[in-house]
A and B are shown apart, each in its own frame.
Chain A
Amino acid sequence: MEKMISTQKLCKTFSSGGVLQHILKNLDLEIYEGDFTVIMGPSGAGKSTLLYALSGMDKPSLGKIYFRDEEISDYSDDRLAVFRRHHCGFVFQQIYLQDNMSVMDNILSAGLLVSRKKKEVVQRAQELLSLVAMKEELYHKFPAQLSGGEAQRAGIVRALINQPDILFADEPTGQLNSYASKAVLDVLTALNKDGQSIVMVTHDVLSARRANRILYLQDGAIYGECDLGDYVPNDEKRHDRLTAFLKEMGW
């Protein structure tokens, strides 16, 4: 599989009250096209920090990040913004829809950034909304009028509207009930099946089972990696392999 994102000696250090905290330490890794990569690890391991560094949301303290062989770690803030709008989609745990905009406006505010063909963007938004099983009467509702699952599905559509090369998801089911979580994961799985590359951070083993590749992060470094192969629902062997891997990692 083709390499999409790679890092070289990626470091991220924060200063807190004058004390330096090294969150990511000389991390080398590669993310491949078409993969559903899940990053797991204990709290404070640096999972989200890694996700946001890979996605160009944050800059590394040291080291390099490449997107398809082009170094993005030295991009300016605005160039990174343009990079994100064209190549990345984001799904957040807190969803972060803009509360003064309707569902459709939230999606279009991202879509119209890249394309000026409003009709096409609106049509794609409607298709994606229908893909995530969003009822039409919700299109013009405000985020506060939606359930958590509905809001997160709207968030996924916003992330997909520009047909990103890669979708980053940070604990997308973290605030959802089990029913809504399953619906969101089903969407992500279906997308991946259609070739969408996904990198997801999660604590949840059920969510992690959807991935084909698990990276286990601990103390700012990749502590282990597990190849699960393509997702097949109710595949107990696959589940056992994941459980064993996590056990080995000290989960």
Chain B
Amino acid sequence: MHSVWPLVKAQFHKSKSQAISFFVIVLLGAVLLNIGLVITHNYDRNYDHHADRLNSAGAILAIKSQDEELINEMTAAMQEDERSIAIEKRDILFATATLAYGEGEQTRNMVFMNQQDEPEISQIDYLEHSADTYEHPIYLPWLFHTGGDYQLGDSFDMEIILMSGEKRTREYQVAGFFEEPILGTVNSTISGVVLPDKEYQDLAQSFDSKIDGTLFCALLKENKTMGENFVGTFNTFLEDHDPTVYHDSSFYLMVKQARTMTSSIGSMVIIGFSMIIVAVVLVMVKFRIGNTIEEEIRNMGVQKAIGYSNYQIVSSLMMQFLILTLSGCLIGIGISYLILPAISNMFALQTGIVWNQGFDFFSALLSVLGISLMVIVTAYLSAKKINKLTPITAIRTGITTHSFKNNSFPLDKTKGNLPMLLAAKNFIHQIRLNIMIMFVIMGVSFAAMFAMVMYYNISVESTKFVEMVSTEVPDVQINAIDASGADHLLAILQNIDGVRKAAYYDQVRASIGNKDSEVFCYIMDDFSALDNQQAVYKGRFPKYENEIAINGLLAKNMSKSIGDTVTLKKGTAEIEYLITGFSQGSNYMGHEAMLTGSAYQQLDSSYHSLCIYVYLDEEIDTAGFIQTLDPYAKDIAKTTNAQLQIESMLGVYQNIVSIIAFIIMLITAAIVSIALYMVVKTAVIRKRQEFGIQKAIGYTTRQLVLETVYTFLPVILIGTILGCLLGKVGLNSMLSILFSSIGMMKINFAVPTIWMLGVGIGIFLFGLFITVVVSMRIRKISPYTMLKE
């Protein structure tokens, strides 16, 4: 080893700036790879760990009833169920509430818990507690702080609505934040807040109608996976025993998947991007070693002549990369832990999960071993060709070797101006280098396109994203109190000026398949009235009463194809439907189906839709329109400004995507800079004698810089174009694979040409700028100095 060390030192000494460039790119790759792996390996486990600490329920069921007989029957049934370990029931207040959240507002089923309760199952962990006293204190989920931007002491207003249509606006002050694995979220239909006993009693007494309810928390044998079937069983139980009781349920796996969705996708994106950087690293290794062999071939011949073995020379070539890779990885891993808190905060916008990650040996080891192994293999494959060289061949060959294959672009026969023709010659002469640069630029252009497409479709023109996530978004959603009221309202709404269309569009729960899996059924008489005709991405919407469309992810999990049948259950009723198409949407993690009203009535003959989707003309102000509905208040249980609800959801995603897009663009710029700096500088150094000759015979610095820029211009241009086109053609397929795990099966994001051109032109001009700046080194080359060398 010590015999190789002088050779390694010499190589370091000769190419310090290139070694630094390589080190920086390895470091970037290691930072991202380690962050991605740490998140993948730990974020889910961290959630489970919190859940275990708080003895989280595997399933919860909230019902708006304190009917002792029903409660006792349910409790007994749950306790007897072989899937349960323990059941805990709590008195709660249960209503629908509309509240400001992020940039918009949310309307959701809200469980009001009494602070006096000290539950055993699904305990409340207070993370922040205000030292001040407030007139009407309330405790909110931690997510309301990270994603909803609430601070201690902020006012928190809620409009609380009962199914009877009775409403109260309550004004609270935020006294603290808590963590609770299932209710501490806005990612499912049901959320929870905690009130001190006085506020709890005040709220209970402020309504004429009943607001009190019961919360069942079930600790299950397979707590983290069996919740779905458990709630399916007891939703059915409840509907059998008293179908009039309003209820909602949630289970651990769904909430966990929803709350860790951003981190799962985020970590995949980060790992994907780190792989692009690692690919750049490998291309650089290949280029650097090839270049070193070409430049140092005479020295290597001499080394062989004086007795160095092939193994020693190959080792010396590999050693510098191994040293740089190991040090880059180790420092990168260190830096990644400085960045992780910021990443954790970014994810917390959507997840509301406290994540304080310690050192993860597994991820660190995988990052170091993964990158180092790839570098070593690439370095060995690139360096081993010197094994075949005899010392005398190496000594005689030197850098002036020329293949004499073709005199490309002969100046006497090719048309064009001189700098361009000379650049064309150089281009062919360094074709391998150019291909390498092209791949690097292509990779980062693709990554930049990814960032642009995500940013554009979530932050700028979010219609498609919203449709993919939420299936269908009206302007206003109106829930009627009863069937006759609903029909009356629909008739009126269809004739109000400014209403583009109004139709029943309902969501009901049912069970699907043999395992009591819960499915949310979207019910509409005529799906051709939907704005989002892409909601079914394969096949067609259901038309007849024996037809159903199910989410593609659900179909995949159930191994169902179009044309197969699937059984829906509601209470004791079971109906088999024919699958006509696959839908997509990330609500309920893909547990979705679509069927017509008459099809659903086969399952539940008493069903009548109570939910109306209202679509307004473009010029109509939604908030103003909602006010005009006051005369019909007696029929309305709840009115939701759906656009505001979407805005509140989007705000969080927009923040996350903006940060990710910014980071990707920053790293893209760094890679373009470093890669071009390295190759252009190498090219200038290698050609310094030629430049010296050219200067001696009368070329100006400007002409030589131009010649160099023209040499690299085609590869930057082609790399950028290919990267952007690959993005245009392949991004939606890639995103479909990425998002299919949450039910978004066929991503159809817009890739606006103008934005694509903007990204392409931006990268191209930036690359050109770096090339010009680095080429300016030619200014320092003096013909006289060259002649003295």
Contact = CB atoms under 8 A, between A and B. Distances in A.
Contact of A92 (B418, B700, B787): B787
Contact of B422 (A92, A104, A109, A159): A109
> Which among A57, A90, A104, A162 has the highest number of chain B CB atoms within 10 Å?
A57
A122 to B, nearest CB: 5
B699 interface: yes
Contact of A86 (B689, B698, B779): B698
B402 interface: yes
A3 B418 CA distance: 34
A81 B695 contact: yes
A90 B410 contact: no
A75 B634 CA distance: 93
B412 to A, nearest CB: 5
B784 A52 contact: yes
Interface in B748-781: 779
A222 B411 CA distance: 43
Contact of B698 (A52, A110, A118): A110
A95 B86 CA distance: 93
B272 interface: no
Contacts of A57: 696, 783-784, 787
A90 B697 contact: yes
Size class of the contact patch on chain B = 20 to 34
B698 A142 contact: no
A81 B402 contact: no
A100 interface: yes
Contacts of B784: 52, 57-58
A84 B429 contact: no
Interface residues of A, number: 41
Interface string A121-157: 0100100000000000000101011000000000000
B697 A145 contact: no
A105 interface: yes
A204 interface: no
B418 A112 contact: yes
Contacts of B412: 104-105, 108, 118, 122, 125
A82 B581 CA distance: 74
Contacts of A77: 700-701, 779, 782
Interface in A83-124: 84-86, 88, 90, 92, 94, 96-102, 104-105, 108-110, 112-114, 118, 122
A201 to B, nearest CB: 12
Interface in B312-351: none
B410 A105 contact: yes
Interface in B362-404: 400-402, 404
A124 B158 CA distance: 92
B402 A99 contact: yes
B425 interface: yes
A58 B787 CA distance: 11
A78 interface: yes
A249 B693 CA distance: 34
> Which among B401, B425, B701, B787 has the highest number of chain A CB atoms within 10 Å?
B787
B787 A158 contact: no
Given A57-B784, A81-B700, A99-B402, A142 B694 contact: no
A91 to B, nearest CB: 11
B589 to A, nearest CB: 61
Nearest to A161: B697
A11 B422 CA distance: 37
Interface string B679-694: 0000000000110111
Contact of B407 (A82, A102, A162): A102
A158 to B, nearest CB: 7
A105 B411 contact: yes
Contacts of B703: 113
Q: Is the interface of A mostly helix, strand, loop or mixed?
A: helix
A78 to B, nearest CB: 4
B696 A90 contact: yes
Interface in B663-719: 689-690, 692-703
B404 A142 contact: yes
A114 B418 CA distance: 10
A231 to B, nearest CB: 27
B782 A58 contact: yes
A110 B410 CA distance: 14
A169 to B, nearest CB: 13
> Which among B429, B700, B703, B779 has the highest number of chain A CB atoms within 10 Å?
B700
Contacts of B694: 98, 109
> Which among A108, A109, A118, A170 has the highest number of chain B CB atoms within 10 Å?
A109
A162 B422 CA distance: 18
A142 B699 contact: no
A166 B410 CA distance: 28
A78 B701 contact: yes
Contacts of A85: 697-699
Nearest to A140: B407
Contacts of A125: 412
B277 to A, nearest CB: 33
Contact of B702 (A78, A84, A92, A102): A78
Interface string B197-237: 00000000000000000000000000000000000000000
A162 B698 CA distance: 11
Contact of B411 (A112, A114, A142, A170): A112
Interface in B278-328: none
Given A78-B702, A81-B700, A96-B689, A105 B425 contact: yes
B697 A101 contact: no
Given A96-B689, A144-B402, A110 B411 contact: no
22 contacts: A52-B783, A57-B784, A57-B787, A77-B701, A81-B700, A84-B696, A90-B696, A96-B689, A96-B692, A98-B690, A98-B694, A101-B407, A102-B410, A104-B411, A110-B697, A112-B411, A113-B697, A113-B699, A114-B698, A118-B412, A122-B412, A144-B404
Given A85-B699, A96-B696, 9 more contacts: A52-B783, A78-B700, A78-B701, A97-B693, A112-B418, A114-B698, A122-B412, A142-B402, A142-B404
Listed from nearest, the 4 A-B pairs whose CB atoms lie closest are: A85-B698, A58-B784, A108-B411, A78-B700
Interface of B: 400-402, 404, 407, 410-412, 418, 422, 425-426, 429, 689-690, 692-703, 779, 782-784, 787
